[in-house]
Amino acid sequence: MGLFKIVTLIVLALVIATLFTVLFLIPIDQTYQVTMRLSPLQRHFFIFNDSSGTTTKISVVESGGYVTLTLISPTGEKVLNGVEVHSSYTYTFTARGTGTYTLCVLNSPLYNTNITLNVVKEHSLIDFL
């Protein structure tokens, strides 16, 4: 086999390895952010779609009191159930099923509370193609 063929095969293998890495291995984040002010005992529902196997991070930063979080999967399972957040909280999970997830944020009974909610879904490029 000639030197040209060997170099061509090596270059082709590197191109294929690079494409595989870019399409399947390098994560791309998709971020949703909400900032709101909640009155005492006010609820806010944040609804988002997720795909099975997607790594999703939920971050909540609040000021003024505390909030309680409940995350419900498409099957009705409570992924988070009554987690109290007094300043900040981050929860990372891998979606078990594809469908609509509901995050319920319940404010404390005594305070008006400002919160910032971030939902970051980590995808590979192939998910968008």
Tell me the pLDDT tens digit for each residue of 32-53. Answer: 788 889 999 999 999 988 888 8
Q: Where is average pLDDT lowest: 58-62, 69-73, 78-82?
A: 58-62
pTM of the predicted protein model: 0.70
Instruction: Please tell me the class of the 28-124 domain.
Output: mainly beta
What per-residue confidence (pLDDT) applies to 5? 84
In angstroms, rounded to a whole number, what is the distance separating the alpha carbons of residues 8 and 64? 64
Residue 114 has pLDDT above 80, yes or no: yes
Domain residue ranges of the chain, discontinuous segments joined by +:
28-124
> Looking at the DSSP assignment, which residues form a beta bridge with residue 120?
31, 57
